[in-house]
Structure 1
Amino acid sequence: MNVRRLIPTAALAGAVALGATALTACSGAAAGTGGGDDGKVGVTASFYPMAFLAERIGKDHVKVDSLTKPGVEPHDLEITPRQTGQLGESDVVVYLKGLQPAVDKAVSLSGVKNVVDASTLTELEAHGPSGHDHGAEGHTEGEGEGHDHEHEHGEAGRDPHVWLDPAKYAEIAKGVGAALEKADPDHAADYKKNTDQLVGELTTLDAEFKDGLKNTASRTFITTHSAFGYLAERYGLDQEAISGVDPESEPSPARMKELQGLAKQENVSTVFFETLASDKTARTLAADTGLKTDVLDPLEGITDKSQGADYFEVMRSNLKNLQKALGAK
Structure 2
Amino acid sequence: MMKMNKLFTAAFAAVLAVLSIVGLSACTSTSGTTGSNSSESQSASKSQKIQVVASFYPMADFAQKIGGDHVEVENLCPAGTEPHEWEPSPADIKAIESARVFVYNGADMEGWVDDALASANVTGTVVCASDGIDLRVADHDHDADEADPHEHAGEHDPHVWLAPENAKKEAENIKDALVKADPDNASDYEANYEKWAREFDDLDSEFASRLSQTSGKTIVVSHEAFGYLCDAYGLTQEPITGMDAEGEPDAKTMAEIVQFVRDNNVKVIFSEDLVSPKIAQQIAEETGASCKVLNPIEGLEQDELDAGEDYFSVMRDNLDELVGALNQQ
TM-score, with length taken from structure 1: 0.80
Distance 2:85 2:75 in 1: 15
1:226 correspondence with 2:224: yes
1:85 correspondence with 2:94: yes
Distance 1:299 1:50 in 2: 11
- Pick one of 63, 75, 82 that aligns with 1:73: 82
Aligned length: 280
How far does the alpha carbon of each residue in 1:36-95 deviate from its partner, in whole angstroms, 9 at most, with x for none?
863110100000010011100001000000110101111121211111111110000000
Residue in 2 that maps onto 1:108: 118
Asked if 1 retains the 8 angstrom alpha-carbon contact of 2:79 and 2:302, the reply is no
Distance 1:153 1:165 in 2: 22
Residue in 1 that maps onto 2:105: 96
List structure 1 runs of 4+ shifted beyond 3 angstroms.
Answer: 146-149, 151-154, 304-308
1:124 correspondence with 2:135: yes
Q: Which amino acid aligns with 1:327?
A: N
C-alpha RMSD of the superposition: 2.3
Asked if 2 retains the 8 angstrom alpha-carbon contact of 1:87 and 1:112, the reply is no
Distance 2:170 2:55 in 1: 14
Q: Which amino acid aligns with 2:131?
A: T
Asked if 2 retains the 8 angstrom alpha-carbon contact of 1:275 and 1:305, the reply is no
- Pick one of 62, 65, 77 that aligns with 1:56: 65
Is the radius of gyration larger for structure 1 or structure 2? 2
Distance 1:193 1:280 in 2: 45
SS of the residue corresponding to residue 276 of structure 2 reads coil
Residue in 1 that maps onto 2:35: none
Residue in 2 that maps onto 1:312: 312
For structure 2, the 5+ residue unaligned runs are 1-41, 146-150
Structure 1 residue 104, shift from structure 2 partner: 3.5
Q: Which amino acid aligns with 2:133?
A: T
SS of the residue corresponding to residue 130 of structure 2 reads helix
SS of the residue corresponding to residue 119 of structure 1 reads coil
How far does the alpha carbon of each residue in 1:238-261 deviate from its partner, in whole angstroms, 9 at most, with x for none?
000000011111102121111112
Distance 1:227 1:233 in 2: 12
Distance 1:214 1:231 in 2: 13
SS of the residue corresponding to residue 120 of structure 1 reads coil
Asked if 1 retains the 8 angstrom alpha-carbon contact of 2:144 and 2:249, the reply is no
Q: Which amino acid aligns with 1:213?
A: L
- Pick one of 242, 249, 256 that aligns with 2:240: 242
Structure 1 residue 207, shift from structure 2 partner: 0.4
Asked if 1 retains the 8 angstrom alpha-carbon contact of 2:93 and 2:116, the reply is yes
Structure 1 residue 107, shift from structure 2 partner: 2.7
When residues 114 and 304 of structure 1 are mapped into structure 2, their CA distance, relative to the original with a 3 A threshold, is closer
For structure 1, the 5+ residue unaligned runs are 1-28, 130-145
Q: Which amino acid aligns with 2:123?
A: V
Structure 1 residue 302, shift from structure 2 partner: 1.1
When residues 200 and 37 of structure 1 are mapped into structure 2, their CA distance, relative to the original with a 3 A threshold, is closer
Structure 1 residue 99, shift from structure 2 partner: 1.2
TM-score, with length taken from structure 2: 0.80
Asked if 2 retains the 8 angstrom alpha-carbon contact of 1:166 and 1:205, the reply is yes
Q: Which amino acid aligns with 1:287?
A: E
SS of the residue corresponding to residue 195 of structure 2 reads helix
SS of the residue corresponding to residue 175 of structure 1 reads helix
